[in-house]
Amino acid sequence: MRHYTSFQGTAQAFQSSIKGLWILLLMAILVIYIVLGILYESFIHPLTILSGLPSAGVGALLTLLLFNAELDIYGFVGIIMLIGLVKKNAIMMIDFALEAERKEGKSPAEAIYQGCLIRFRPIMMTTMCALLGTLPIAIGFGAGAEARRPLGLAVVGGLLFSQFITLYITPVIYIYLDKFQTRIKGKFPSPRLTKANEPG
C-alpha cells in the first residue's frame, strides 16, 4: 500500500497562500500589460516597459539568497511592489522617446538615446527615494523586524540590480521591438490605409 503525506493546519494554509501569491503576481503583470497597451495603443511598447521585471526578480531572489532570507509572504509582497517601482523607469524613457518620434521626427535609436540622457536624473532620484525608504526594513530595525526583513531585502536588491540593467537593456529592446513592429505593419497594413489608397 502507498502512503501519502500532506501538510495540515497552519502549514497547509501557508502552502496554499504561497500558491495564490504566484497567481497574484502573474495577474498583476497581465493587468499592467493590458493598461499600458490601452494607454499606448500598442501591443509592443508594454513589452518594452515590462522587460525590466525579470532583472528585478533576479536581483530580489539573489539578495534573499545572499542574506539567507526565505521567500515568504513578505518577500512576495516585496517582489509585487517591485513591479510598480521598476516599470516607472522604462515608462519615463519610452514616453519621452515616443513623444520625440511623433513631434520632432527623430529615429527610434536617437529618440530613446535622448530619453535615457534627459530622464536619467529623475530615474535615479525616484529609485534612490524608494531604495532609501525600504533600507531600514532591509537592515531590520525595531521589534519584529526579522519577519519584515525579506520585504526590504527583495525591494532593495531588486532595485539595485534592475537599475543598472534597465538603463542598458530597455533602449536595446525598444529599438528591436520597434523594428519588429514596423515589419509587422509592412506585412499587414491597416485596413483604413488600404481603403484610403484605393482609387475612387
* Angle at alpha carbon of residue 30, lines to 29 and 36, rounded to 5°: 90
Tell me if 195 is assigned to some domain. Answer: no
- pLDDT tens-digit map of 56-82: 889 999 999 998 888 888 888 888 888
18 in any annotated domain? no
Residue 171 lies in a domain: yes
Q: Is the pLDDT of residue 10 over 60?
A: no
In a domain, residue 26? The reply is no
Rounded CA-CA distance 14/10 in Å is 6
pLDDT at residue number 71: 82
Q: Write down the pLDDT at residue 52.
A: 85
- Domain range enclosing 141: 42-184
| pLDDT digits 0-9 by tens, 142-153 | 666 777 888 889
Q: Within 13 Å and on the Cβ side, how many CA atoms surround 58? A: 11
CA distance 23 to 156: 23
189 lies in a domain? no
What does each C-alpha distance from 150 to 28, 96, 166 come to in angstroms?
20, 34, 23
Question: Is residue 149 a part of any domain in this protein?
Answer: yes
* CATH number, residue 137: 1.20.1640.10
* pLDDT for residue 121 is more than 60: yes
Q: Is residue 12 part of a domain?
A: no
pLDDT of residue 11: 53
Q: 56, exposed or middle or buried, with CB in 10 Å at 0-12, 13-18, 19+?
A: buried
Residue 56 grid cell:
528585478
**Cβ neighbours of residue 91 closer than 8 Å, sequence gap 6 or more:** 49
Q: Is residue 100 part of a domain?
A: yes
Radius of gyration for the chain, computed over Cα atoms and rounded to the nearest angstrom: 21
Q: Which residue is associated with the grid cell 527623430?
A: 106
Number of domains making up the chain: 1
